[in-house]
Amino acid sequence: MPQSDDPKLRVAILGCTGSIGRQALDVCAQHSDLLEVVALSAHGKTKELVDAARTHHVACVAVTDSSHATDPILAELPKGTELLFGADALAHIVVRDDVDCVLNAVVGAAGLTASYETLRSGKRLALANKESLVVGGDVLMPLARPGQMLPVDSEHSAIFQCLVGEERNPIHAIWLTCSGGPFYGRTHDELAGITAADALRHPTWSMGPKITIDSATLMNKGLERIEAMHLFGVPMEQITVLIQRESKIHSMVEYEDGSVIAQLGASDMRIPIQYAFSYPNRWDAPCSRVDFREIASLSFGAPDMETFRCLALAERAGIEGGTYPCVLNAANEVAVHALLNDECSFTDIACLVERALDAHVREEAESIEQLRDVDAWARSFTAHALKALARS
């Protein structure tokens, strides 16, 4: 990884207009002596994409939603900037000769192919898109050589950091921390009537809408358990979800001798994003440091899996494995989209996901093409279930 005398790390940021993408651009601006942004993608926010392309003088941009191909603002891209359209554009970006590292900050299963192609190309994958591993971990992990895939998800970055230097020591347990979301402590009845606006008020993190809803249902933690199984090669039962309300402990690893190593820091994603670029080195902090004297207490608890049923459904899908996590994820994406559009209730999300899992017949997860088909089936099934729910 570059130090001050080394060539800069040349980075492509997929999903540069989102919460992670914008913070990654900030990290790149703060460390412009070490990082160079060479390619960017956005789905529909072409104005923001053009602004970022101009600021960072990038060589290539992609607009993955082709319906934006005629946006007049694209004419304001600097002369010579390569402009690509459509979902396939991401695969073109990741194999460019001038890209060393791909930050995948796309939301949802739409990020899967880019992760796959990045690993196949041998380049570093800074992975925020947890859905890639949830859906395709069985296909992706065999492609990743040690140190090639750097997790950006805060908990997984924390676990990764707790494992550095401990390669010869088996993991006894992973303590996967969880804020508990905005509805921590509520009963099932108290979740009725919750609106998308309520669920979008996360207590500790500022994030994009999809992951914020997932945090409120605890599906996010369910997805993260599956993500951790793949990344760290441990079974579900060794990954314990721990409520840590302040989001200051980002996760912990317990070893056989009873020692527990934790990673702590600000609730600011620029730290794990930067670490995925700087590993195995550490650079100057990209955000304010925590003064632990000012934190009155750190509180812990256990999640309520009966009330927050998405966590239990993700456990079921993760243990069953194969194509079940793909179905879990696709059904959840459809249901979360419906909540955000006021087409279903907060508690419907778990019902819709459960129906899709019940209807699915498991297969081994073997290829990206197969997973695309299973994903499409689960989306179509859940869209129909949603319509039936609206009629009932």
Ligand X SMILES: NC(=O)C1=CN([C@@H]2O[C@H](COP(=O)(O)OP(=O)(O)OC[C@H]3O[C@@H](n4cnc5c(N)ncnc54)[C@H](OP(=O)(O)O)[C@@H]3O)[C@@H](O)[C@H]2O)C=CC1
Q: Give DSSP secondary structure letters for 332-344.
A: HHHHHHHHHTTSS
- Contact between 178 and ligand DXP per CB under 6 A: yes
Mapping DSSP to helix (H, G, I), strand (E, B) and coil, where does residue 87 land?
A: coil
348 is in an annotated binding site: no
Residues 44-73 that bind ligand X (CB under 6 A): 44-45, 64
| 148 phi-psi bin (left φ>0, alpha ψ -120 to 50, beta other) | alpha
Taking contact as CB under 6 A, which single stretch among the options 140-148, 178-186, 255-263, 368-376 is the one that binds ligand DXP?
178-186
**361: exposed, middle or buried (Cβ count in 10 Å: 0-12, 13-18, 19+):** exposed
Among 182, 208, 321, 322, binds ligand X (CB under 6 A): 208
The nearest distance, CB 155 to ligand DXP, in angstroms, is 6
Cβ(250)–Cβ(177) below 8 Å: yes
Q: Give DSSP secondary structure letters for 34-75.
A: TEEEEEEEESS-HHHHHHHHHHHT-SEEEESSGGGTT-GGGG
- Contact between 215 and ligand DXP per CB under 6 A: yes
Q: How far apart are CA 360 and CA 327, in angstroms?
A: 8
226 is in an annotated binding site: no
Q: How far apart are CA 302 and CA 312, in angstroms?
A: 13
Among 2, 18, 265, 325, binds ligand X (CB under 6 A): 18
- Contact between 227 and Mn ion per CB under 5 A: no
Among 45, 124, 221, 355, binds ligand DXP (CB under 6 A): 221
The nearest distance, CB 330 to ligand DXP, in angstroms, is 19
332 is in an annotated binding site: no
- Contact between 43 and ligand X per CB under 6 A: yes
Per the annotation, binding residues are: 17-20, 129-131, 153-155, 179, 202, 208, 215, 220-221, 224
Which residues are near ligand X by CB under 6 A? 15-21, 42-45, 64, 105-107, 110, 128-131, 153-154, 205, 207-208, 210-211, 269
